[in-house]
Amino acid sequence: MARPLWKGYISFGLVNVPIELRTAVRDRRPRFRLLHGKDLSPISMERICQQDGRPVAWDDLVKGYEVEPGSFIAVIEDDFKTAAVERSHSIDIRDFVPVDDIDPRYWDTPYLTAPTKGGEGTYALLAAALEKSGRAGIAKYVMRERQHLAAVRGVGGQLLLSTLRFHDDLVAAEAEKGRSSAPSSSKELALAIQLIEGLKSEWDPTRYTDDYVKALMKVIEAKAGGAKPTKGTVPARRATNVVDLAERLRQSLAAPKSRPAGSREVPLTQRAKESKRTKAKKGTTKPTRARKHAAA
């Protein structure tokens, strides 16, 4: 098992829950190095001074901030220490808010947590309470010299910590372009809802895979094995000149939904009708055998 990224406490009120943080996601994309095209030798990247054109050693490097184009100030280690927030081993929960109230744009990186020795009972209690309440604990903590905002949730008996973006990190709504304030007609809205209903399903993340990474790894493995990689084909989208939104929605409803090979394709409009008939049958109760005898 990988080493924990951080150890400390989740604190709220007078309660401290000892935990450790572990990574919850991984980047499965292949990593590449730059090579010399002639002999495939790895390339070393040199740090060159733009003024005298000479290489610069690591010990001679400093971080700088560009205050205006071409004008820099050096920011040294003592400057970072001056600005640093007091480090602690505590994730201090300040508020408990409804999870559904958090705008999806704030969610950033998830981390798994695990209780350390002696904190199993309190950990399980907090996880169960948060999951049942539907709330998340909003907290601040410091890791790797940086302060983070986080939400602590209960998921399946475990505490899941997700870092959050600060409010200042989001683009203001006034600056967003391409948003239309024109209202949709009731007919278009009804058709759109019907299309959504026809495509609704339970969330199953295993249904969605990164096809590009799979295809790229096949190419890499084929080249490593000496074989010539073959290019896969992706079905092209059918071009349409339909401009009217309502007509496009009707076409979408009439088109068959993509299904696994060998299964029967059913247009969404037919699926909606079949769904209504099924509900109607469920609502109809057949007379019991006792009633039949009574009638006889």
Task: Read off the pLDDT of residues 193-242 as tens digits, 9 standing for 90 and up.
Answer: 888 888 888 888 888 888 888 888 888 888 888 877 666 655 555 555 54
Domains and CATH numbers, the chain: 7-23+84-169 (2.40.290.10)
Round to whole Å and give the CA distance between 116 and 20: 7
Nearest to 45 by CA among 37, 53, 33: 33
Q: Is the pLDDT of residue 288 over 60?
A: no
**Does the pLDDT at position 46 exceed 60?**
yes
pLDDT for position 87: 74
Q: Decide if 43 contacts 34 (C-beta within 8 A).
A: yes
Tell me: the pLDDT tens digits for 101-153? 999 999 999 999 999 998 999 999 999 999 999 999 999 998 877 889 999 99
| pLDDT value at residue 11 | 92
292 pLDDT above the threshold of 50: no
Residues contacting residue 41 through CB under 8 Å, at least 6 positions apart: 35
pLDDT at 277: 57
63, 101 Cβ separation under 8 angstroms: no
Instruction: Determine which of 6-10, 30-34, 51-55, 175-179 has the lowest per-residue pLDDT on average.
Output: 175-179
pLDDT band (50, 70, 90) for residue 10: very high
Nearest to 126 by CA among 140, 116, 115: 115
Q: How many Cβ atoms sit within 10 Å of the Cβ of residue 295?
A: 7
More confident residue, 251 or 75: 75
- Residue 177 — very low, low, confident or very high, per pLDDT cuts 50/70/90? low
DSSP state of 236: P
Helix (H, G, I), strand (E, B) or coil at 33: coil
Percent of the chain topping pLDDT 90: 43
Report percent pLDDT > 70 for the chain. Answer: 74
Distance in Å from the first CA to the final CA of the chain = 72
Asked whether residue 48 carries a pLDDT value surpassing 70, the answer given is: yes
Residue 294 — pLDDT band, cuts 50, 70, 90? very low
Sequence-ordered list of residues with C-beta below 8 angstroms from that of 103, at least 6 positions apart, any chain: 170
